[in-house]
Structure 1
Amino acid sequence: MRQLPQPWLFRIALCSCVILAIELAFTSSLAWSTFTRSGAPQAGFGIDFSVFWSAAVVALAHGPSAVFDQSLLMTVERTVRSGALFAGTSGPWLYPPTFLLFLLPLGMMPLNVALTAFSFVGAAAYLRAMWATVRRAGPLALCPVAAFPGLWLALCYGQNSLLTAAAAAAALVSIPTRPILAGIFIGLLSVKPQLALIFPLALICARQWRCIVSAAACSLLLWGVSVVLLGADMLPAWVHTVSWFKHTWIEHNSEIWRGMPTIYATARSAGASARMAYGLQGVVAIPACAVTAWLWRGSARYELKAAALCCCTLVAQPYLLYYDLAWLAIPIAFIGVDLYRHSGRGFEWLSLLAAWAMPLQSVAATMTPGVGQWAPAVLVWLLFLIVRRHGRQALQPAKQGNVSGYDRLVS
């Protein structure tokens, strides 16, 4: 086995650039038609951002707790789009006060200006963090990262998954050398706290105490500022809305299951009860957490540890939507760097290619009944590859010259 030959790197980069040109043309066309169309569009560029912007407008005009008044929020949303993502309720506000705190400045801007700023910041942060992840494989590695369908899917929908993925990638890159900064990035994930749950497990196993303290301090600071500025009544209202959404939509609405690349949704779509689906989710999530803890506690190369953490984060979620697969670029990048630096087999590269295409498959599953979501199986397979590569590392240690830059920093 040898590293990927240089001609293949150029071929991968070239194919990625072709795909990137297609994605850029489609996104530009969608954005142009959205920004120049008169009236409220049924769909268009950044359509989900209308919920964020509407919440910020409502909070500024009627008080922060008013974002949980769905009739009021719906009234504002209908001024910027004619259709409803959630029939009859139209995009309820499900985010914690920490996220609303960052959105308030956008509510002072016109919708198109706010959407442009939000999209630019999200894409720039994502690409900057991902470049820090893959730069050890050389500049050509940025091409498949920039062409990753999950990036453009999240961008077209106007979702915040680019920002959360950027925070996670930046944290993982910073942990070995700047743990305090890494903790700040982890603390920023409190805007979507379910995506940060695996970080404490990994950090405890790695004995990264400074990072843990920094993450806890940043998270507590964000929550404290949110409570002071937005009011303590936001917390119970948020918990109540999330509970309502869980019971009404996640557990009893088959339409949303088609857009959820999770084991829970797959089981529910196959006819399992909610209790059985949660049980199946746990059957996979618990071993995934155990594997992640084992890797972070042991001597695995850091790329494998970081990839396992992100795979576990995604596979452990019972509620996840297709645009959240922007996170999938992180384990793909770390595994790709490990394959490049420590050699890999053809099926391992093909596995990364399959994972790279998962956002497209996930969207296709929402539009085509019976196709099903393949991402959970791919995530489990990636975890298997990670464990397999660590096992080969233990049996055949890499030469000193090939030791990962991360491993040298950690040691």
Structure 2
Amino acid sequence: MRQLDRRWLFRVALCSSVVLAIELSFAFSLAWGTFTQSGPPQAGFGIDFSVYWSAAVVALTHSPAAVFNQDLMMAVEQTVRSGKLFAGTSGPWLYPPAFLIFLLPLGMMPLNVALTAFSCVGIAAYLRSMWGIVRPIGPLALVPVAAFPGLWLALCYGQNSLLTAAAAAAALALLPTRPILAGIFIGLLSVKPQLGLIFPLALICSRQWRCLVSAAICSFLLWSVSALMLGVDMLPAWVHTVSWFRHTWIEHNPEIWRGMPTVYAAARRAGASAQWAYGLQAAVAVPACAVMAWLWRGTARDELKAAALGCCTLLVQPYLLYYDLAWLAIPIAFIAVDLYRHAGRAFEWLLLVAAWAMPLQSVAATMIEGLGHWTPAVLVLLLCLIVFRHRNRHPAGQTAEHGRSKLSDLSGRAAHF
């Protein structure tokens, strides 16, 4: 079975290298067009980063609370975003104060310099954290990691998904051996709190008290420092803006549903009311959390536990955009390591390949009317695969190898006797 796994790995790495070359060419051409043109880009490399940079500029030149002033933010954003795509619009600032304090140094730089620094840090952190997961497979595993479409979507949009995914991947990779450091990385996820909600449940179920305390302390310090630096009035303004965004955009804006690979968005596009859509989202999220808690409470392998948490984190989100699927690399990588260490069947590797392609499918779903997002279904299948591998701890191929080993050992003993 290990020979089969190596063949699959080689084939995946070979195909991924072709995809990586295409992604590099596209990203380079997009970046070249963005950095070399004289005026504001109509749509270019890192276009969503303009919201981060504008928020930092507004906070430094006016006041931190001014980032929630939509008119002021629009005035700054329109200096770096133009064209019909952005006419009369601005990206609202939806992040808590804990994230803004990390962006303030970028507001002191020119936009292109700040975007370059942000992108380089994101790529480096993402690849380093993912290497901490796939190291048991070997360097060849870095090829599909680097070519993962979710990475390039987040990079080209200038989103923070690479940084949050890197923190989550580092936490899960370090948890078995360095729980306190893992807790620090979990605490950093409080810059985007909805992505860290499942971690406390997993830590409680597995009785990882040191990690839980470390995460709580890190989150508390991060939010306390942000309150001291930016002012306590930032928190109620953030809560009000998030509530407005949920009501105005998530619940009553059909355009945004096209880019959301979630059960909630699928239900809304199918004609369900917001209440029914939230109910269907809960109908998937609650069983997923129950399965994840069962795995973390029991004797499942560390790779399977981490993969289940990654799947569950994405499944429970009613609001998730396709560039957030950079997180999907986490369960894929952990399942791949488990397949490599404990033997995997062809259909299991094929499911990972399908999951690897989901960010591309999500992009296609935004362009092709009626296509829909397949990511929630694939996440459920991944969770089922994790349960299957936990319940069948000795796959057929591994059992056969074990039987042949025992037969050879018995034959040797008989000959010696």
In the TM superposition, what is the alpha-carbon distance from 1:41 to its structure 2 partner?
Answer: 1.1
The 3-state SS of whatever aligns with 2:113 is helix
Are the aligned partners of 2:5 and 2:343 in contact in 1 as well (CA < 8 Å)? no
Instruction: Name 2:135's counterpart in structure 1.
Output: 135
Question: 1: CA distance between counterparts of 2:354 and 2:82?
Answer: 36
Instruction: Name 2:307's counterpart in structure 1.
Output: 307
Instruction: Name 2:364's counterpart in structure 1.
Output: 364
Question: 2: CA distance between counterparts of 1:155 and 1:381?
Answer: 27
In the TM superposition, what is the alpha-carbon distance from 1:38 to its structure 2 partner?
Answer: 1.2
Pair 1:386 & 2:382 matched: no
Are the aligned partners of 1:3 and 1:344 in contact in 2 as well (CA < 8 Å)? no
Are the aligned partners of 1:85 and 1:91 in contact in 2 as well (CA < 8 Å)? no
The number of residue pairs the alignment matches comes to 401
Instruction: Name 1:230's counterpart in structure 2.
Output: 230
| 1:399-410 alignment, distance < 5 Å | none
In the TM superposition, what is the alpha-carbon distance from 1:19 to its structure 2 partner?
Answer: 1.2
In the TM superposition, what is the alpha-carbon distance from 1:49 to its structure 2 partner?
Answer: 0.1
Instruction: Name 1:72's counterpart in structure 2.
Output: 72
In the TM superposition, what is the alpha-carbon distance from 1:5 to its structure 2 partner?
Answer: 4.5
Instruction: Name 1:408's counterpart in structure 2.
Output: none
In the TM superposition, what is the alpha-carbon distance from 1:11 to its structure 2 partner?
Answer: 2.6
Q: Which amino acid aligns with 1:143?
A: V
In the TM superposition, what is the alpha-carbon distance from 1:223 to its structure 2 partner?
Answer: 0.3
Instruction: Name 2:340's counterpart in structure 1.
Output: 340
Are the aligned partners of 1:34 and 1:41 in contact in 2 as well (CA < 8 Å)? yes
Pair 1:271 & 2:257 matched: no
In the TM superposition, what is the alpha-carbon distance from 1:381 to its structure 2 partner?
Answer: 0.7
Relative to the length of structure 1, the TM-score reads 0.95
Instruction: Name 1:322's counterpart in structure 2.
Output: 322
Are the aligned partners of 1:3 and 1:343 in contact in 2 as well (CA < 8 Å)? no
Question: 2: CA distance between counterparts of 1:200 and 1:84?
Answer: 44
Question: 2: CA distance between counterparts of 1:310 and 1:85?
Answer: 33
In the TM superposition, what is the alpha-carbon distance from 1:380 to its structure 2 partner?
Answer: 0.7
Q: Which amino acid aligns with 1:389?
A: R
Instruction: Name 1:118's counterpart in structure 2.
Output: 118
Structure 1 stretches of 4+ moved >6 Å:
84-87, 394-399
Compared CA separation, residues 3 and 382, structure 1 to 2 (3 A)? farther
Relative to the length of structure 2, the TM-score reads 0.93
| 1:256-267 alignment, distance < 5 Å | 256-267=256-267
Are the aligned partners of 1:96 and 1:191 in contact in 2 as well (CA < 8 Å)? yes
In the TM superposition, what is the alpha-carbon distance from 1:369 to its structure 2 partner?
Answer: 1.6
Are the aligned partners of 1:3 and 1:342 in contact in 2 as well (CA < 8 Å)? no
Listed as ranges, the gaps of 5+ residues in structure 1 are 403-411
The 3-state SS of whatever aligns with 1:4 is helix
Compared CA separation, residues 220 and 86, structure 1 to 2 (3 A)? farther
Question: 2: CA distance between counterparts of 1:243 and 1:175?
Answer: 34
Question: 2: CA distance between counterparts of 1:370 and 1:7?
Answer: 37
Question: 1: CA distance between counterparts of 2:343 and 2:208?
Answer: 29
CA-atom RMSD, angstroms?
A: 1.8
Structure 1 window deviating more from structure 2 (276-285 vs 80-89): it is: 80-89
Are the aligned partners of 1:307 and 1:335 in contact in 2 as well (CA < 8 Å)? yes
In the TM superposition, what is the alpha-carbon distance from 1:83 to its structure 2 partner?
Answer: 4.1
Question: 2: CA distance between counterparts of 1:41 and 1:142?
Answer: 33
Question: 2: CA distance between counterparts of 1:395 and 1:121?
Answer: 40
Compared CA separation, residues 384 and 74, structure 1 to 2 (3 A)? same
Question: 1: CA distance between counterparts of 2:105 and 2:275?
Answer: 41
Percentage of identical aligned residues: 79
Instruction: Name 2:99's counterpart in structure 1.
Output: 99
Q: Which amino acid aligns with 1:379?
A: L
